[in-house]
Amino acid sequence: MFDMGGRDAMSRTSQVRDISMSVLTHLVRYIYTGQFPTSATMVECLDLMVALVYYQLDQHDQSVVESCDAFITANLKVENCLDVCRLAFERGLVEVQRKATQMIAKNYGRVITSADILHSMDQALVIEILHACNSLLWSLEFAT
């Protein structure tokens, strides 16, 4: 940013877009300490994963991506799996979305309490969720 000879180099500042202050704080703290932010919320952790990829920090150190993934997996519950799935879908976090979709499929009756929930989601995501549910039912059918 600062060595390109542009406006950032002249002012020694840089404008960071599309990232919340809390996620930027976690990102800078990670860069300086190498430690995963244990105080991050689920949404901050999802956004941190996006920021790590955007700033190509995931290529240098997979441990923070693995830490984010472990945090999300540990905190993925029936009560939040639909929101996590939607947020992961919106952010392009395929592996997180897959895990959340599997939890939805395994707990469909508890997660999908009304059709209105599905109407508020992206159609492609609803299709993926229903496909995962269908696949799970077929695997259970043939397992017996």
Question: 13-60 pLDDT, tens per residue?
Answer: 667 777 888 888 888 888 888 777 778 888 888 888 888 888 887 766
> How many domains does the chain fold into?
2
Q: Are residues 61 and 102 in the same domain?
A: no
Task: Summarize pLDDT for 54-85 with one digit per residue, the tens.
Answer: 888 776 667 777 888 888 889 999 888 888 88
Tell me 58's DSSP state. T
Say whether pLDDT at 2 is over 50. no
Q: Are residues 92 and 126 in the same domain?
A: yes
Q: Which H helix or E strand runs over 136?
A: helix 123-143
Q: Are residues 41 and 71 in the same domain?
A: yes
In order of 33, 35, 37, 102, 136, the CA distances from 29 in angstroms are 6, 8, 8, 32, 41
Last residue of a domain, one of 17, 51, 75: 75
Full domain range(s) for residue 130: 78-144
Q: Are residues 52 and 84 in the same domain?
A: no
Q: Are residues 141 and 82 in the same domain?
A: yes
Question: Taking the mean position of all CA atoms in its chain, how far away is CA 116?
Answer: 23
In order of 19, 50, 73, 126, the CA distances from 47 in angstroms are 8, 5, 15, 22
Say whether pLDDT at 6 is over 60. no
Q: Are residues 130 and 105 in the same domain?
A: yes
- What pTM did the predictor assign? 0.71
Q: How far, in Å, CA of 59 to CA of 101, rounded? A: 26
Q: Are residues 1 and 39 in the same domain?
A: yes
Q: How far, in Å, CA of 62 to CA of 83, rounded? A: 25
Q: What is the pLDDT of residue 77?
A: 92
Q: Are residues 47 and 95 in the same domain?
A: no
